[in-house]
């Protein structure tokens, strides 16, 4: 059984350029070179700058990282500025640079698509009931979902500390029990725990200074509000305990409630 973190959503595959795209890219490069020569650009400069742009745009187009693929655009701009400042009469060389950049990026995209191969769908999520005595952690970052079985306490602390608008929920399942931690900032983390996901009864931690007396929430001491980072610390304590026991931590005061969807 795989215990380390695994991705539940497929990796988006880049589509290879169509034959028409290749034709247009080659036409752009050839047209740019032709325009440069027709308007009196120096052939040596045209060939030199165009070769540099073609090579580096190809390398950047083949990269998986989208930020690294962007390197071709500032390159064309910088070289164009060099030409405009120092070689005013041959600024038509810019047409060749742009055409070669388009061709290089298209060829690089084709190589990137060939390296990725066909899309492979990951295995379905683990059913917590099929792994008794194990804790299944799932979380989502944007549209990507991830899973890990029996995560370490340090991993849970790290995930909870990263709660924000893009990653706003962490779920732990151990048998029929479940813990959900949700929030949009580390200082406003809400935790819900239930012993049975089929039950409507959930429990959530109470802030420091509050306790349960006779089924009612009672404030103990001065209600100065919640200390900074307190909700995150409670969530980390609760998640660590739940991950090894599947139940609520005794170090946290819990209130019984019905979780709102």
Per-residue pLDDT tens over the stretch 42-60? 788 788 888 888 888 888 8
Residue that wins the pLDDT comparison between 155 and 2: 155
pLDDT above 70 (res 91)? no
- Crossing angle, helix 19-38 and helix 93-116, to 10 degrees? 160
Q: Which pLDDT belongs to residue 217?
A: 53
Separation in Å, CA 24 to CA 49, 100, 177: 21, 11, 58
Q: Give the model's pLDDT for residue 226.
A: 60
CA dihedral for 14, 19, 22, 27, sign (positive or negative): negative
The predicted structure's pLDDT at residue 141: 84
The DSSP code for 112 is H
Tell me the pLDDT tens digit for each residue of 143-180.
788 999 999 999 999 999 888 877 778 999 999 999 99
Q: What is the pLDDT of residue 140?
A: 87
Which is higher by pLDDT, 129 or 83? 129
Res 38: pLDDT: 85
**Residue 213 in this model has a pLDDT that exceeds 60:** no
* % pLDDT > 70, the chain: 79
pLDDT at position 255, please? 82
Average pLDDT of the segment spanning 226-235? 81
Tokens representing 24 are 């247009």
Q: Residue 69: which of 27, 29, 111 has the closest Cα?
A: 111
Q: For residue 119, what pLDDT band results from cuts at 50, 70 and 90? A: low
For residues 224, 225, 227 and 231, what is the CA-based torsion angle, rounded to 10 degrees? Answer: 150
Instruction: Please report the pLDDT score of residue 238 as a whole number.
Output: 94
Higher pLDDT: 253 or 154? It is 154
Predicted pLDDT at 165: 72
Choose between 32 and 79: higher pLDDT. Answer: 32
Q: In sequence order, which ranges of the chain are alpha helices (DSSP H)? A: 19-38, 43-61, 66-69, 72-86, 93-116, 153-161, 230-245
- How does residue 15 score in pLDDT terms, banded at 50, 70 and 90? confident
Task: State the Cα–Cα distance between residues 41 and 135, nearest whole angstrom.
Answer: 68
Average pLDDT over residues 127-136: 92
**Confidence band of 9 (pLDDT split at 50, 70, 90):** confident
Q: What is the pLDDT of residue 156?
A: 94
Report the relative pairing of strands 169-174 and 136-141 from DSSP bridges. antiparallel
Tokens of 38: 């027709």
Q: 23 vs 19, 28, 36, 195, CA distance in Å?
A: 6, 9, 20, 62
Contact assessment for residue 209 and residue 225, using Cβ atoms and an 8 Å cutoff: no
| 31: pLDDT strictly greater than 90 | yes
Q: Which residues contact 234 (CB under 8 A, 6 or more apart)?
A: 189, 191, 205, 252
Residue among 139, 147, 132, 146 nearest 164 (CA): 139
Does 26 have pLDDT greater than 90? yes
């Amino acid at each position: 059984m795989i215990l380390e973190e695994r991705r539940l959503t497929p990796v988006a595959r880049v589509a290879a350029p169509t034959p028409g795209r290749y034709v247009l890219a080659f036409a752009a490069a050839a047209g740019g070179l032709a325009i440069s020569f027709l308007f009196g650009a120096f052939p040596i400069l045209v060939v030199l700058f165009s070769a540099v742009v073609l090579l580096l745009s190809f390398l950047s187009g083949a990269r998986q990282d989208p930020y690294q693929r962007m390197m071709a655009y500032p390159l064309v701009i910088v070289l164009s500025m060099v030409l405009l400042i120092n070689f005013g009469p041959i600024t038509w060389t810019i047409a060749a640079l742009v055409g070669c950049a388009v061709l290089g990026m298209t060829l690089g995209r084709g190589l990137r698509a060939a390296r990725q191969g066909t899309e492979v769908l990951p295995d379905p999520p683990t059913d917590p009931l099929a792994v008794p005595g194990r804790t299944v952690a799932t979380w989502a970052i944007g549209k990507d979902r991830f899973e890990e079985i029996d995560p370490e306490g340090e991993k849970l602390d790290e995930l909870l500390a990263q709660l924000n608008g893009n990653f706003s929920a962490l779920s732990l399942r151990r048998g029929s029990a479940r813990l959900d931690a949700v929030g949009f900032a580390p200082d406003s983390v809400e935790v819900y725990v239930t012993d049975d996901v089929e039950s409507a009864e959930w429990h959530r931690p109470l802030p420091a200074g509050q306790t349960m007396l006779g089924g009612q929430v009672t404030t103990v001491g001065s209600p100065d509000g919640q200390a900074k980072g307190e909700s995150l610390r409670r969530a980390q304590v609760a998640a660590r305990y739940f991950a090894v026991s599947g139940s609520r931590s005794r170090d946290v005061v819990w209130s019984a409630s019905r979780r709102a969807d």
